[in-house]
Structure 1
Amino acid sequence: MPQIVSALFKLPLLRELKPGWIDTARAIVQGAVFQEMTRAHLWQGKCLNAGCGEGLYCSFLSSFPDLSEIVNLDLETPQLYYSRVDDRHQEIKGSLTALPFAKETFDCCLCSEVIEHIEADELAVAELARVLKVGATLLLSVPTPPAPNDPAHVREGYTYEQLSSLLERQGFKIQCHAYCFYNPMRVLDTLWRWQYRVLGAEKRNYFPQFLVKGLGYCDRVLKVGKPWDLVVLARKESEII
């Protein structure tokens, strides 16, 4: 029976009934912002994917043909699909507060939904500045108040002013910024966490993929309510002595 169910879920229509995860909607909404922001800043050279998690944005980074190397770093050594299909990808274990790289190693960096997890966020940004070359770009996303509660976060998020100040203290200057995640994503976050906690006893996910995607596309188009995510593209202007 499990084999039959698995085979059925591979059919195009039934595939959308499979359990869906919030990160799918996150990529639909936030990924579009990333693409728009980097349209005029085509990345090349060596890129750091800082706090890559399960590799949500590996495909986004793979889309840049002039990137020669993509280093995916997380607290535990990532096991990513993209390292098997794109030999530019590397997987490294490390912490943002003590990056295992020499000074001025990277030409660009993606750091998405990471520093809100780190108590020593100033040190983490200082480490990103240390390993980036002068003139390098940093694409950074963080929650912004009022953000849904996440017990894994050490702070609710950052206002634009707070994030700008944090980056500027380490030699970065924001080139552009945008907001995302509005009421549809807030509804998705609430419903998904409820069903996983209550119906699934924190072991099973019953939320269908088509609803995850649908709410993601609604959020991307409608932009109703207060946003709870902030994306910035910053440039490393100088070294901090």
Structure 2
Amino acid sequence: MLTVDYDLLGVGAGTKVIDVGCGAGRHTFEAFRRGADVIGFDQSVSDLNDVDEILQAMKEQGEVPASAKGEAVKGDALDLPYADGTFDCVIASEILEHVPADDKAISELVRVLKPGGSLAITVPRWLPEKICWVLSDEYHANEGGHIRIYRADELRDKVLAHGLTLTHTHHAHALHSPYWWLKCAVGTEKNSHPAVTAYHKLLVWDMMSRPWLTRTAEAALNPLIGKSVALYFRKPPAADA
């Protein structure tokens, strides 16, 4: 389940990509599949071990172009171990809401991006997230949980302050908003609740089969209750910086 639209980023063979806070690796794998030289970057060793294993399996099974390179790297998003202007594309999907020093994290994302490169940031959208917080403290008040709710214009302005240009925005995963509202209402740990189980089956069916009905419904609902907002930026070319 991708939140970032790769067609907007122009990721392809030879594109140097870093997926900061890659988690289980969904965006790392898509970049790899498209032929990029991608780094899945995270602080969780267990997640990175799984990501590395899948990257190797993808390569061995011929699911990626022969030239593509994939790597899993452990580190701190507040101190990325790369030189200025290393990457053509930087992705930070659903991580900034977890980071106390988000301004520092954004500064690092911009720093390692090449002039002319693209930055994609996604975070939970304000309204669906606010409803979750109202329904349940358990949803966010935990170690490593969400510490803030962004308004899209607030996040946009934090990035624009670094001299980048906003190129596109969209919302995603509208069908997931009611699922999380339901979980917050019954208890986030009650995964066996009949209503939660039934809705989860719907989401899995949607992700696996991608039927016309649910795809059309989500596209219509995304502007209203999309669970995530995605913002895309371009760093000025060197001559204009």
TM surpasses 0.5: yes
* Per-residue deviation, 1:206: 5.4
How far, CA to CA, are the matches of 1:208 and 1:145 in structure 2?
Answer: 22
How far, CA to CA, are the matches of 2:206 and 2:34 in structure 1?
Answer: 28
Match of 1:9 in 2: none
Q: For this pair of structures, how many residues does the alignment match? A: 202
Indicate if the aligned counterparts of 1:47 and 1:108 stay in contact, CA closer than 8 A: yes
Root mean square deviation, CA, Å:
2.8
Matched position secondary structure for 1:197: coil
Q: Which string of whole-angstrom CA distances, capped at 9 and with x for unpartnered residues, describes residues 189-224 of structure 1?
A: 2335647623659xxx95686322346663524417
How far, CA to CA, are the matches of 2:234 and 2:121 in structure 1?
Answer: 11
1:178 to 170, 176, 179: 170
Q: TM-score, normalised by structure 2?
A: 0.72
Matched position secondary structure for 2:179: helix
1:75 matched to 2:46? The reply is no
Whose relative contact order is higher, 1 or 2, with alpha carbons under 8 Å and at least 6 apart? Answer: 1
How far, CA to CA, are the matches of 1:231 and 1:61 in structure 2?
Answer: 17
How far, CA to CA, are the matches of 2:100 and 2:113 in structure 1?
Answer: 22
How far, CA to CA, are the matches of 1:195 and 1:206 in structure 2?
Answer: 13
Indicate if the aligned counterparts of 2:177 and 2:225 stay in contact, CA closer than 8 A: no
Please list every run of 5 or more consecutive structure 1 residues that lacks an aligned counterpart in the other structure.
1-26
* Per-residue deviation, 1:180: 2.2
How far, CA to CA, are the matches of 2:112 and 2:237 in structure 1?
Answer: 12
Indicate if the aligned counterparts of 1:74 and 1:92 stay in contact, CA closer than 8 A: yes
Matched position secondary structure for 1:153: coil
- Which amino acid in the other structure matches residue 158 of structure 2? L
Match of 1:188 in 2: 179
2:147 to 146, 150, 154: 154
1:95 to 65, 73, 76: 76
Inter-CA distance 129–199: structure 2 relative to 1 (3 Å threshold): closer
Indicate if the aligned counterparts of 1:188 and 1:215 stay in contact, CA closer than 8 A: no
Match of 2:226 in 1: 227
How far, CA to CA, are the matches of 1:113 and 1:199 in structure 2?
Answer: 22
Matched position secondary structure for 1:104: coil
How far, CA to CA, are the matches of 2:205 and 2:34 in structure 1?
Answer: 27
Greater per-residue helix proportion: 2
Matched position secondary structure for 1:223: helix
Equivalent pairs: percent with the same residue?
Answer: 20
Please list every run of 5 or more consecutive structure 2 residues that lacks an aligned counterpart in the other structure.
60-67, 134-138
Inter-CA distance 227–209: structure 2 relative to 1 (3 Å threshold): closer
1:62 to 32, 35, 45: 32
1:135 matched to 2:116? The reply is yes
Indicate if the aligned counterparts of 2:89 and 2:118 stay in contact, CA closer than 8 A: yes
Q: TM-score, normalised by structure 1?
A: 0.72
Q: Which string of whole-angstrom CA distances, capped at 9 and with x for unpartnered residues, describes residues 71-119 of structure 1?
A: 1100123111332133611111111111111111111111110111111
Q: Which string of whole-angstrom CA distances, capped at 9 and with x for unpartnered residues, describes residues 161-206 of structure 1?
A: 2122111112221111111233x322212335647623659xxx95
Indicate if the aligned counterparts of 1:96 and 1:124 stay in contact, CA closer than 8 A: yes
Indicate if the aligned counterparts of 1:195 and 1:206 stay in contact, CA closer than 8 A: no
